Structure 1
């Protein structure tokens, strides 16, 4: 039996097909124009860099295969917005397999991690937790050419000054010989290596721990772990406290007191009715100040945030990121 499609539906499908074809054609045209403009922009960048003292050899090497990344622009403009809570986010960020793997990775690299942890004053479980959350223990570091990604984002124009600064740092990394240009891969925004450092963070915090003359946050585990530890140490990490703890708030708690700008002693929070998650008293330590952090709302998870919480916020200014790193570090410390 032959089914005849209604005329209006045929018309609608035809219109949709024409619209889709037009959209694809417009995108192709835009990509072609961007590619042409990008090539001209690269030449301007090379002249500016040459005037700033970078060698012609470095520039020839760095930009030899530079290309416009439309997906970088698209990713920057259309970053996903999901309505999540910590209760739904944490199981995704730290599934059981990742918590188990984190324990295994700590054991695999224990000698090196303990040595670095002692030298920099950072507990090894936090180094592993950061490594796991950032790049799944080095297995997903991004496949974009960093020079191309940064040049694309500078050319895109909305944050040209920021990305040109990062590009200049990337050129310094190339000129100093820390990584072969073919291996200088990272995210669409230019975050690099197993620590996902932006080039400016690399210049400030990366460490040549294995002493081979290169700060290799892509392949040297000593450099990766020491660079992460050096970052945390530099932003105020303490190895005598944890990151924070989940707590209960009393009925009628004044939420104006929440936030990292408000610091009180544990005794003061205790007096205001804040308790551990199991209802017991807070630790009795006079040397600690903390903040109450409510990432979602009063019905969601609430944390008492110590100095190390602030340090993790310097790494990535997201309460969800900090909670994921902290939660994974706790799972390493207390494996199930």
Structure 2
């Protein structure tokens, strides 16, 4: 995943800017391009980009000094920092937002992942159970997040976190966010929780076996094994306690389920199943909503109905803990996958209602066209961006109601064609 740029190290350029900014001079070895590097062979555009990147790093270093980052940390962090083109390519292409929910769940909650998860949960049981007891988060939920984020620790990412965040900050689309995360990463290095060469993770700067962003690491990471370091890369006790601490402090309610699959009665007003309208579970029961096996609905005082695949797919009753999982990753598909994977790890039932697999996912361009058409007809979906969020789903529902269609808020090719 990590691509070495075709140019020589940005460090040589950085040295010049660091001197201008009043920072410490980098080591002589860092100022010398690798022997096999040939600046004359570097593409002009790449060379100019690397010069701009070095200036960005120098400017950021000034900000970091003012925030209390010392010169030794800056030297360690930025001595070999590189721009990674692949990071900018991956930005905005998360699978949670670009695939149908059933396609996403097919891999996220596959039989192989369930079997592997049950085995890994057995191996890590003491650490998982200790975290579950301390923070009130079920062991299976912790294991499900572990499975979703790194396939139970087998794929934590190999991109240097400093390089990834510097690339995102320099690229500019999310510069303010990336600068904040990069500063947090420098604080982690300064605290000596992890050395620079071992601070590896995803293209977006998420780190460790449950993929904490640096700011979340500073706020929620826990030294559960007592070795003086918060090690979410190699210490299972630290991984589990940190993850449980994040969920507990984000609103997890002990003793409550995340939700469950339910049946809706014939003629049910689908506009109520938008995932936002909250009622006690008893109120949904009074409207005819039933569990799949006929048992009483869970005693959720603040629950909502969710139709992740529209009227033809499964329906779920979701509670506050589902919304807490969204704090970990703000994707309905992700939160649903965590809940269903946890359910499977505990030996529970899979989704019983069939998914509408004949429906194809709309492309980014088609979603842009759909949003534009909705806006043109007076159903405000916000600024068209090709991403389906609450505003787009609300606009779809209003349009569906206006033409007598089931108001499930789900974007389909048929709906797009009708709008056009």
Q: Which has the higher contact order (CA 8 A, sep 6+)?
A: 1
Q: What residue is the counterpart of 2:343 in the other structure?
A: 330
Aligned-partner Cα distance in 2 for 1:203–1:34: 32
Q: What TM-score results when the alignment is normalised by the length of structure 2?
A: 0.70
Q: What residue is the counterpart of 2:67 in the other structure?
A: 52
Q: What residue is the counterpart of 2:39 in the other structure?
A: none
Aligned-partner Cα distance in 2 for 1:58–1:88: 43
Q: What residue is the counterpart of 1:169 in the other structure?
A: 184
Q: What residue is the counterpart of 2:297 in the other structure?
A: 283
1:321 and 2:334 correspond: yes
Q: How does 1:185-264 map to 2 (within 5 A)?
A: 185-264=200-279
Q: Residue 173 of structure 2: which of 158, 181, 190 is its match?
A: 158
Q: Residue 105 of structure 2: which of 90, 93, 98 is its match?
A: 90
Q: What residue is the counterpart of 2:126 in the other structure?
A: 111
Contact 1:145 1:186 (C-alpha < 8 Å) held by counterparts: yes
Aligned-partner Cα distance in 1 for 2:241–2:94: 31
Cα deviation per residue 1:144-172 (whole Å; 9 max; x = unaligned)? 11111111111111211111011110110
Structure 1 residue 282: Cα displacement: 3.2
Q: How does 1:10-89 map to 2 (within 5 A)?
A: 28-76=43-91, 84-89=99-104
Name the SS for the 1:303 alignment partner: strand
Structure 1 residue 28: Cα displacement: 4.8
Aligned-partner Cα distance in 1 for 2:166–2:336: 33
Contact 2:290 2:297 (C-alpha < 8 Å) held by counterparts: no
Structure 1 residue 204: Cα displacement: 1.0
Structure 1 residue 224: Cα displacement: 0.3
Change in Cα spacing, 1:309 to 1:293, as seen in structure 2 (3 Å) is same
Structure 1 residue 52: Cα displacement: 2.5
Name the SS for the 1:39 alignment partner: helix
Contact 1:266 1:289 (C-alpha < 8 Å) held by counterparts: yes
Size of the aligned set, in residue pairs, is 308
Name the SS for the 2:60 alignment partner: helix
Structure 1 residue 77: Cα displacement: 5.3
Q: Residue 305 of structure 2: which of 292, 297, 310 is its match?
A: 292
Aligned-partner Cα distance in 2 for 1:81–1:210: 33
Structure 1: any 5+ residue segments left out of the alignment?
Answer: 1-26
Q: What residue is the counterpart of 1:123 in the other structure?
A: 138
Q: What TM-score results when the alignment is normalised by the length of structure 1?
A: 0.87
Instruction: Tell me whether 40-49 or 59-68 shows the greater mean CA deviation.
Output: 40-49
Aligned-partner Cα distance in 2 for 1:34–1:70: 11
Change in Cα spacing, 1:189 to 1:205, as seen in structure 2 (3 Å) is same
Q: What residue is the counterpart of 1:4 in the other structure?
A: none
Q: What residue is the counterpart of 2:410 in the other structure?
A: none
